[in-house]
Amino acid sequence: MPLSLLKKLVSIPSVYGNEREIADFVEDFLKEKNPRLTVIRENNTVLAFENFNPEKKTVALVGHLDTVPGENEYEGQVISGKLYGLGASDMKAGDAVILKLAEDFSKESSRFNLFFILYEKEEGPYVENGLQSVFKKYGELLRRIDFAFVLEPTDNVLQVGCLGVIHAWFIFKGKRAHSARPWEGENAIHKGWELLKYLNELEPRKVEVGELTFYEVLSATMVDYSGGRNIVPEEFRVNLNYRFSPLKTVEEAKGDLVELKGKVRADSVEFTDLSPAARPCLDNPILQEFRERFSVPLQPKQAWTDVAQFSVHGIDAVNFGPGQPHQAHQRNEYVEVGKVKECYRVLKEFLKA
């Protein structure tokens, strides 16, 4: 049972950008507990894998090492079946399961080639994510993976696929003037009325993918303008957050927003963040077997996770982890110990020969 490992992991501070100490621990643990593994360190990301048997499929277990900043006054304590600590649910419980399985399979046989990935900088911008550098440097190696479990907090629910994400500024241009004489200018905020009306009336778009239902949604999440309280602004910017279905590419989703620009008469669109969706891989034979053997609930991932990074490289991946999603990024974060035990039991049973 990975409880002692989890206590150790939550005792190591690893706020985004400061993962060196926990990566050192993970690297040393894997080398000591499973000498059969080849271990690679890339910055503060650790990759570990066995010799590849061509007669076996390859399964990866994946987790991020970083946390967001936070406070936890019960750090490391188990109270009423809950272990408290920063990152306990998101996602050091999953990391502890991964490390315990790596230790177990130094002594036992797995019917898969096993590949372990524990990476840095998940909790920040997409371009800085630790998986970005390992896919660039070790892409050929990673493409040996046939299926990946990403142990993000899902409450031991199987979450398949994920939405893509775009952030884009819709920019409206006007002419600066004194607010006492607005007729001398053109109010850029007022020019944005068609966009705001469109968004206010927009309903979520249901997208069926096999037995899964995703919802495409588009929201204004920030605004910016030039000027002051008594100035007619010459520029008004609205940040749109577009969550698009797994059936669309990033380019197709960008096209949706470019088309919207014309409808609402924005002057320009500035794309600032582009994250692909993940294929809902219900047809993957490894996932199909997993579902047949274990009666775990199934959900679409109505959000974005790093399964998309695997999907864009042609690797099927799902989220399945012991953490509680509602505890992610919370003060006094905890994880239910029973959930950790159950996730460990299910994955060990599935992987063993």
Catalytic residues: 66, 122
| Spatial separation of the C-alpha atoms in residues 244 and 280, rounded to whole Å | 13
CB atoms within 10 A of CB 185: 18
User: What are the Cα distances from residue 177, in Å, to 183, 231, 236?
Assistant: 8, 6, 14
Q: Beta partners for 278?
A: 162
DSSP string, 216-274: EEEEEEEEEESS-TTEE-SEEEEEEEEEE-TTS-HHHHHHHHHHHHHHHT-SEEEEEEE
Whether 188 contacts 234, CB under 8 Å: yes
String of b and e for 214-244 (b: at least 16 CB within 10 Å)? bebebeeeeeebebeeeebbbbbbbbbebbb
| Spatial separation of the C-alpha atoms in residues 266 and 268, rounded to whole Å | 6
Q: Beta partners for 168?
A: 240, 271
| Spatial separation of the C-alpha atoms in residues 152 and 194, rounded to whole Å | 39
Torsions phi, psi for 3 (to 5 deg):
-65, -45
Return the amino acid letter for 36.
R
